[in-house]
Structure 1
Amino acid sequence: MAAATALAGHLAKDLDRILDGIHHLGLILPGALYDQTEILRPGFPLIDALTELYSGSDRDRIFKPRLIALGSDRGYFPVAGIDPRRRPGSGPLLLLPFCFVGPRDDIARLARVMEDTLLQNGETSQATREAVQEAFGLTAMNLSYATIGDLCALLRVQLDGNGLLPLWELLEQSWFERPGVRSATLDGGNRFLVAGDHAHTPFYTFDDWAQFGPGRALPAMELGEGYRRWARLQRQYALALEAYGLHVRWVLANPQLETTLATADDEAALAAFREIPCLSGDYLVEAIFQNDNEHPERRMSITNQADPELGTLAYTVTTLDDNGQLLRLEHHYPLRPQGLNTIIDRLIQRCDEQAVERQVLHPGRLLYSERGRNLRAATVADLPASTERLH
């Protein structure tokens, strides 16, 4: 608590100097560091939470300009809205948020000044730098003040420079609570629609993608690379949208939805998405063939449909009975990173419970039939090395 109070004092002196006087305004900050994904979220809830805490401290409901520092000796804040959720690996950019509170006209004038000058003239003092490093036990490479608008602009430049401008447009739609729908169709055929704090997107199995989805017009020899490109962008966008606070709603693609997305406006497309139940769970099982006889499974062959960059995209599973007759052909797709281990665990359990002999084949690439435009199981001839068991 003492460290937060000291830090707040240094920060207030800096801002008073940079902004030519802030004594007529209230200022509140939590003594904690956050990842930018915790600040840039739909409606900017952390800022709202700080404003509410400041307002709640005025018991007579009469505004008084004060400096409020929020600290904790327990390693967390009891108020969920401001408790940091930053995880290891969040990135090198750490943020110490603060919020001005005051009469509407005063805040409006200050906001214009801050947007025009804060980032350019916002270098911290040496005293503030030392207070930050002492409070959080780190070495700061660079310290500067910025507005949320500055953060958004910097992220836009970063995403645009990496060919991800559509991702920025989807995020902006949700963060600033724009009315209506924002859609994006990517080069890989990926589709995303954002309305409110929800992002809607279709999931394609390889067979669906190649037969009626975005890959339907590609030559058969290009299907593998095309689906890998689609999967790479799908994972990239879905993970980023979720990280920045959107609820990503996956639905299983079908030909009718495909037609709607190609011919309808965004509002009609959104209505079509909402009519389809979202995919739940961490993985999807696509059943291609099932023999209705009652013979038990005795042998299972599992093909790891993988890409060197993306890892496993699906497991193709075939099971045979004692006579070598095909009982089932399935494709198991992880929808989220944790889905991969869930699939593995369930297949191992299925084999153990039924005493099924299991073989896992690792061809190191996607295997598909060019004629049928569908995934296929591996044979020993497809393998670059010896087969391995799943364990």
Structure 2
Amino acid sequence: MSSETVACPAVLALEFMPGEKPPRLTFGRDEADALAAYIADDLRALLPGVAQTRLVLAGALFDAVELLRPRFPVWAALDTLAARAPRADEAHVLAFGAHEGRMPAAALTPDAAYAEAPMRYLPWSLQAPPELAQRLGEAMETELIAKGQAGERTADLAMRLLGVRLEHARYLTRHDLLAITCVQYEHATLAALWELIEVALLSPARRHEAMSARGVTYRYADGAIEAPLPSFERWYAAAGQGIDAGERAYAWAGSLFELRQSAALLAAHHLPLRIGGETPRDGYVIEPLAAARAELGAPTLHAHEAPGLGVVAVSVAQAAPGGTHLLAHGYPLTRAALGALCEALALRYGAAPHLQRLGRIVLDADARALAVPSTAATH
């Protein structure tokens, strides 16, 4: 083959039968070689010109979020390994499997955190000279989505190697995978988030903004996604004024759920999230309000809670004559971040580390801001 090649990236999508789960996520070297040989046979029957290309395959099963990350690191690792292969190994099929449980590159090692997904993807690409790659890429986009069912031998081998039953096994281009993921995010009311992820993947130099289903504007620029600080006051000014006072706490909790969901998905896609101009490195953000007053007692920590979400905010307050003096609010982006948030607030404001549970989201008398009952602040 010519030293100048272009890769046409794709996947073999394996959908398991309900209740089935593969016991492992990687194939050994010999297993990957055998699977790649059958895949090559399938592709030669589907696509003209495949015999003049090289099939490069990773013997590992990934979730879509692991494949759809900036610069597509799994396919990039395949390209790098293929380029390093000795000339004597420049066959038409090149598969990379695990040896003693380890894949030849870190990027080709699936993360067990995503192992529960009912659909797994085996990444591969066809490498060809530029002109052939262009024709082949166009053919892949039309032929695979229409006729890309994996051959019986290929599907049978995958099932025997993994010891599970398959509902479907079919070939998809990377663009097909992007389109499928787009539909999934739209069904989960995360269409705006997907817009930003897609820009980050396909046009990383662009700037883009999108409004979420909850009316929050997210922005993409310079490789990161920006969200506003999830403070109740900011939310009230932007979206809460038209909501009945009795429903505002519930509506705000919904926006926090959306933020948590977005933060988790962006982390899975390896896209940085900045909130209020800062990157929440430990899974929480803090909203400073005021300095502590020396004449008042030690600050205390108070947990605002919402059904199904647990603690959604922690307020730091000092008891003051006739009420409370609020110093800050903190927002955990995951349940696991609550402990670290409380430690950070206690250290920053000299508060007692004990967290007082309010049992609900407490608002001020006008339902325009988070509050701490004066009786709670004195406990």
Normalised to the residue count of structure 1, the TM-score between the two structures is 0.77
Cα deviation for residue 42 of structure 1 reads: 2.1
| Structure with larger RCO (C-alpha < 8 A, sep 6+) | 2
Deviating more after overlay: 154-163 vs 119-128: 154-163
Opposite residue 343 of structure 1, the aligned amino acid is: L
Cα deviation for residue 72 of structure 1 reads: 1.8
Contact 2:362 2:371 (8 Å CA) reproduced: yes
Q: In 1, Cα distance between the equivalents of 2:353 and 2:267?
A: 39
The one-character-per-residue Cα deviations of 1:31-65 (angstroms, maximum 9, x if unpaired) are 111111111122322222212221222559xx955
Q: In 1, Cα distance between the equivalents of 2:144 and 2:150?
A: 11
Opposite residue 337 of structure 2, the aligned amino acid is: G
Contact 2:208 2:219 (8 Å CA) reproduced: yes
How is 1:263-282 mapped onto 2 (pairs within 5 angstroms)?
276-282=277-283
* RMSD (Å), alpha carbons: 3.4
Opposite residue 65 of structure 2, the aligned amino acid is: T
Q: In 1, Cα distance between the equivalents of 2:230 and 2:272?
A: 19
Partner of 2:356: 360
Opposite residue 284 of structure 1, the aligned amino acid is: V
Contact 1:315 1:332 (8 Å CA) reproduced: yes
Check if 1:369 corresponds to 2:340. no
Contact 1:14 1:124 (8 Å CA) reproduced: yes
Cα deviation for residue 358 of structure 1 reads: 4.8
Contact 1:190 1:234 (8 Å CA) reproduced: no
Partner of 1:31: 59
Q: In 2, Cα distance between the equivalents of 1:123 and 1:150?
A: 14
The one-character-per-residue Cα deviations of 1:324-377 (angstroms, maximum 9, x if unpaired) are 9967654332144432121345678999x99x69573342x3110142621122
Deviating more after overlay: 175-184 vs 144-153: 175-184
Name the CA shift for 1:67/1:343 in 2 (closer, same or farther; >3 Å). Answer: same
Name the CA shift for 1:361/1:166 in 2 (closer, same or farther; >3 Å). Answer: closer
Gaps of 5+ in 1: 252-275, 382-388
2:149 aligned to 123, 126, 134, which one? 123
Q: In 2, Cα distance between the equivalents of 1:179 and 1:288?
A: 35
Opposite residue 121 of structure 1, the aligned amino acid is: K
Contact 1:33 1:84 (8 Å CA) reproduced: yes
Check if 1:312 corresponds to 2:311. yes
Name the CA shift for 1:52/1:222 in 2 (closer, same or farther; >3 Å). Answer: same
Contact 1:303 1:378 (8 Å CA) reproduced: no
1:91 aligned to 97, 117, 137, which one? 117
Name the CA shift for 1:40/1:215 in 2 (closer, same or farther; >3 Å). Answer: same
Contact 2:233 2:368 (8 Å CA) reproduced: yes
Cα deviation for residue 96 of structure 1 reads: 0.5
SS in 2 for 1:96: strand
Cα deviation for residue 160 of structure 1 reads: 2.7
Q: In 1, Cα distance between the equivalents of 2:52 and 2:31?
A: 24
Cα deviation for residue 125 of structure 1 reads: 2.1
Contact 1:42 1:177 (8 Å CA) reproduced: no
Cα deviation for residue 137 of structure 1 reads: 3.6
Deviating more after overlay: 369-378 vs 116-125: 369-378
Q: In 1, Cα distance between the equivalents of 2:244 and 2:141?
A: 51
Opposite residue 332 of structure 1, the aligned amino acid is: G
Opposite residue 377 of structure 1, the aligned amino acid is: V
Q: In 2, Cα distance between the equivalents of 1:191 and 1:164?
A: 12
1:342 aligned to 340, 352, 358, which one? 340
Gaps of 5+ in 2: 1-28
Q: In 1, Cα distance between the equivalents of 2:127 and 2:149?
A: 22
1:182 aligned to 201, 208, 213, which one? 208
Cα deviation for residue 290 of structure 1 reads: 5.0
SS in 1 for 2:170: coil
1:150 aligned to 155, 166, 176, which one? 176
Q: In 2, Cα distance between the equivalents of 1:208 and 1:120?
A: 48
Partner of 1:140: 166
Partner of 1:215: 240
Opposite residue 309 of structure 2, the aligned amino acid is: L
Check if 1:332 corresponds to 2:327. no
Tell me the number of residue pairs that the alignment of Structure 1 and Structure 2 aligns. Answer: 349
Deviating more after overlay: 238-247 vs 341-350: 341-350
Contact 1:319 1:327 (8 Å CA) reproduced: yes
Contact 2:204 2:222 (8 Å CA) reproduced: yes
Q: In 2, Cα distance between the equivalents of 1:128 and 1:359?
A: 57
Q: In 1, Cα distance between the equivalents of 2:253 and 2:137?
A: 45
Partner of 1:265: none
Partner of 2:80: 52
Name the CA shift for 1:78/1:294 in 2 (closer, same or farther; >3 Å). Answer: farther
SS in 1 for 2:257: helix
Q: In 1, Cα distance between the equivalents of 2:204 and 2:165?
A: 38
Percent identical residues: 27
Partner of 2:197: 171
Opposite residue 226 of structure 2, the aligned amino acid is: H
The one-character-per-residue Cα deviations of 1:104-155 (angstroms, maximum 9, x if unpaired) are 1111111111110112211122221222123334332221111111111222
Q: In 2, Cα distance between the equivalents of 1:19 and 1:358?
A: 65
Check if 1:10 corresponds to 2:38. yes
Deviating more after overlay: 86-95 vs 97-106: 86-95
Contact 1:317 1:329 (8 Å CA) reproduced: yes
Contact 1:290 1:327 (8 Å CA) reproduced: no
